[in-house]
Chains A and B, each alone.
Chain A
Amino acid sequence: MAGLRLINMRDKGQAYWMDYSMALFLFLVMLSIFLASLSNIESDSGIQEMKKKADFVSNTFLEEGMPLRWTSDNFSKIGFRVGKKLSKLRIYEFDGMTYYDEKSALALRYDFAVVFTNGSGAIQNLGNLCVIGKEMNITSRNRIAYYGNNFTDFIIKNMTGFNADIYTDEKLFSNLDNYTLLVLENPDFVDGNYSFAEKREMLENFVQAGNKIIFGGNLGGDAFNVSFVNAFGKNATFIREVSEMDIMQNESLNLSYNYAVNGSVDVLASGDGHIVFARWNYGNGTVYYLSNFSVRNKKKDIIKLIRYNINGLCGNFDFDSIDSDALVKIQRLCIVENRILTMEVYLWK
């Protein structure tokens, strides 16, 4: 109607043209907003679909997998839950798959990344692992040190992979504050500038403060409220389930051993009545003892145990590295092993 009036009145004066121009301008502005809104609605429906997928991914991770202790080779359904908590070992299994396989397992066509954060929002290092899914270049630092004289190949290779600081001398004791986990292989701490008693006191204080030690072979003397004795044998059996390693009761541990531990410990594996693999708490920390790291089977499981106990730091999530205008995030509160964390699931096109 407005257009018809305009044709009839175009010679009536400039004031009408001004009005007409203003009206046309307003109309075009609103038309642009309308068209932009249509475009946003299409985009919104895509976002809704992504939200549903993120929802699906988070639920899948928080459920139990099939079988319960699934591996990347045998799963029919993935899921991190074991009992009441999310298992780091199941997370490692998933992380060990290729990114393509991870997406296939989730029936996902979007890119995705998952991090676990604490209440302050800091990304947690779950044992040399800062992010699941797409590689996001989140820097990580594992607070782990290795000390040994007679290196066992598969141990030292993985220590390097975990970015552990490697020591062969007493400098380790000057830097203990930098670490939360020590892996000591046949240390025999008798010789050196520090006496065994001094080294023992430093190590005991280290564990007392809530840190962890995994050591094998001969320590050089008694420590951590237990004693070490000479004992000889070739095979042992796990006498209980070891959840940190995915080991079930009655599985065998093939190793030649010269030492065993005596004391109030959780016996993990024994041979001929000798305790060759044990775990016990000392102060606020935990000690694991294995008579000999040079095992003939269960090598991967030993590495799982080390990785399980790694703590460290992670850098920040660099959102700028995601080249997408559609990013969806879902947060779920959960328990990972013994800690309450927030699982953050990111999806993008």
Chain B
Amino acid sequence: MRRGIYFSMDALLATMLLVSGIMAFRILYIAPNNAFMDYTSRDIGNVMADISCQDAGLPYLEQLMENGTLRDNNASFLEKLGELWAQNKKYEMRKLLNDFRRKYLPESEFSVYIQNELVYNTYHESETNIVSAKRMVSGITANRTQTGYIARAIASKAVKNNTLVVMGDVITSAVTNPWGWNNYNSVYVVYTVDIPDGADISDAYWFIEAAWTDNKFSAYINGNYIGSSNGDATFTNLKDYFHSGRNYAEVVYSYGWGGYEGGEDGASHIVVKYTVNTTNTVADMSRHYFADVRSKCSIRYKKPVFISGELDSVYVNMSVNSTNATLIINYNGNDYLISKKSVVNYSAIWSDSEIRSQLAGYGLNYTNFTGKFVWFDVDLDTYESSEYTGNLRELFNKSYIYTEQELSSIVYKYIDITDTVDDYDYSEQQSGDFYRKVNWYYNYSNSSIPLFLKAQFAWLYYTGTTPSQVVKSNHIILYQSPPLIHEFARFGHDGDSVINGRNNFSLSFSYGYAVNPFNSFVTFSYLVPNMVPYGATFDTEGEALNDAKERLNETLGNAIEALNVETEALGIGRVPSLWGPILVEVRSWK
């Protein structure tokens, strides 16, 4: 009988192994990632912002209009919600939202927050798979009957600590001939570093990582030699080499002891820390200029562009010296050929309609790109990783990619802050300083508006392996291979997954892929309002002004110091007053 028990135990063991195998297989290969498919919160926010009160068809809203609680039937439903919130009429607000849901979305679960205050909830939120969308709204409060003074304050001039980061691109050109020997080519890469006028530079450094670990290189800033090395190097204490205005950072790559190509692997970055008196320094997010590149072999230039908002149009304007040029768009690790063109008068241009229609042929449209890095790969002449030197090929720095996109939040009346994310941990060493699991941590306060997180990675890939790649923001999966992204040099996401408090951005790879957290670079950008709206009503003008200044200082926080504060007090007595802007957030879940 004991042997019989062994048979049964074998069977049970085999059963357990198979069940575990099936579960592991399903988790690894078909992990759910449906966040991108759920538009409920975005649609609700859009519809509430776009539908007029008269078209909303809600009897209770009509009743509020008739009894004078609200006015202006042509205003949007969202504006009237904001107005009720400003009047502290929470019952009316909840009833309207409940009527809206019962009439149009009886099956949906969602909640509405105004200025991070929960004002409506259909049911308890589930802990996972919550999708959020935000809208700004402001307006006029009707029927305010209090008398007294209200005040608002605006920081018309402020000083802020800021960091300029110029992230290098993936640029390669052959430094070996077809036999694998030195072809005596040099690959010149010149980055433009624009520092705001009047900036006071406190620190600067430059990390350079060559395309192949053996490449030799020499670096110059504004024509001044700063050093040479092989593979990679960090040059520090460079603040005296830079000045406000336009700067040039040049690096010249050449053959080392075997690597086929000279150039950069996308991990290089120049960091300049400075303070400047300003209210807004958000860079022009529509034009993305290329670095100046010269080489006597064909050139491959891969430029990542972060699409932070809704993308309306794209075109690529290349100013180059070559026979032909090829444009490929790489998204989520897949290459999509746009076309190969002959260069005429040093110019090759890809129009929006051409790019749009080519992508449509692959089943892609621009909305796929929102909140992600998209790679624009340009080859000057048919690219060879090993070849004899020939004519000089040049890619001029007036070449650019134009992306017409709307920021997901309103920049006006906000001060943008970019912080480097320096708090990280790592585990599962692959080799040297390269690790397979890395977490970055940063704090976010809900008094500001999150813009985006951008990351640049010093990466290591063992060719021939097929490692898994998973990227998460606060446990929300943003990317999961396949396909395997060989050059995992960039990743970014918008503010939708950012939460109040401590945030976690994490990378997780299996054997064969790793990043070096010490030479990687993560930044988080957000907007801080440079004003506070009219607040509570006070008996005297002085009290109202002091309250406005205190609220402004609290809002600006430690990163910004107000130099000039303009205040405005308003005596009120049975007159309408302004409210907002306020942030309305819709969260949905299933």
The reply to whether B356 and A77 contact each other, CB–CB distance below 8 Å, is yes
Contact for A34 among B21, B36, B47, B50, CB less than 8 A: B21
Which chain B residue lies CB-closest to A13?
A: B4
Tell me what chain A mostly uses at the interface: helix, strand, loop, or mixed: helix
The reply to whether A26 and B106 contact each other, CB–CB distance below 8 Å, is no
Complex Cα spacing A2 to B6, Å: 9
Complex Cα spacing A119 to B42, Å: 18
Q: Cβ of B363 < 8 Å from any Cβ of A?
A: yes
Which residues of chain B are near A342, meaning CB under 8 Å?
104-105
The reply to whether A334 and B43 contact each other, CB–CB distance below 8 Å, is yes
Contact flags B13-52 to A (C-beta < 8 A → 1, else 0): 0110011011001100110001011011001101100110
The reply to whether B50 and A335 contact each other, CB–CB distance below 8 Å, is yes
The reply to whether B363 and A340 contact each other, CB–CB distance below 8 Å, is no
- Decide: A107 near B361, CB < 8 A? Known: A51-B37, A335-B50: yes
Contact for B102 among A1, A37, A119, CB less than 8 A: A119
Tell me what chain B mostly uses at the interface: helix, strand, loop, or mixed: helix
Contact for B7 among A23, A63, A335, CB less than 8 A: A23
CB distance from A39 to the nearest CB of B (A): 12
Q: Cβ of A223 < 8 Å from any Cβ of B?
A: no
Chain B interface size, as a band, is 35 or more
The reply to whether A333 and B36 contact each other, CB–CB distance below 8 Å, is no
The reply to whether B7 and A16 contact each other, CB–CB distance below 8 Å, is yes
The reply to whether B47 and A335 contact each other, CB–CB distance below 8 Å, is yes
CB distance from A268 to the nearest CB of B (A): 21
Contact for A119 among B44, B106, B356, B357, CB less than 8 A: B106
The reply to whether B360 and A333 contact each other, CB–CB distance below 8 Å, is no
Q: Cβ of B428 < 8 Å from any Cβ of A?
A: no
Q: How many residues of A contact B (CB 8 A)?
A: 52
Contact flags A1-14 to B (C-beta < 8 A → 1, else 0): 11001100100100
Contact flags B354-386 to A (C-beta < 8 A → 1, else 0): 001100110111011000000000000000000
Q: Cβ of A41 < 8 Å from any Cβ of B?
A: yes
Which chain B residue lies CB-closest to A55?
A: B37
Complex Cα spacing A332 to B38, Å: 9
Q: Cβ of B3 < 8 Å from any Cβ of A?
A: yes
Q: Cβ of B422 < 8 Å from any Cβ of A?
A: no
The reply to whether A335 and B21 contact each other, CB–CB distance below 8 Å, is no
The reply to whether B40 and A333 contact each other, CB–CB distance below 8 Å, is yes
The reply to whether A76 and B357 contact each other, CB–CB distance below 8 Å, is yes
Complex Cα spacing A84 to B51, Å: 8
Q: Cβ of B126 < 8 Å from any Cβ of A?
A: no
Which residues of chain A are near B56, meaning CB under 8 Å?
340
Q: Cβ of A169 < 8 Å from any Cβ of B?
A: no
Which chain A residue lies CB-closest to B1?
A: A15
Q: A26-B15, A333-B44 are in contact. List 17 more A-B contacts (CB 8 A).
A: A2-B10, A2-B14, A5-B3, A16-B3, A16-B7, A19-B5, A37-B22, A37-B25, A41-B30, A51-B34, A56-B364, A76-B356, A77-B360, A120-B106, A333-B104, A333-B105, A335-B50
Nearest 9 pairs of A and B residues by beta carbon: A23-B11, A19-B7, A333-B43, A84-B50, A30-B18, A2-B10, A338-B55, A19-B4, A119-B104
| Chain B residues proximal to chain A, CB less than 8 Å | 1, 3-8, 10-12, 14-15, 18-19, 21-22, 25-26, 29-30, 34, 36-37, 39-40, 43-44, 46-47, 50-51, 55-57, 102-106, 353, 356-357, 360-361, 363-365, 367-368
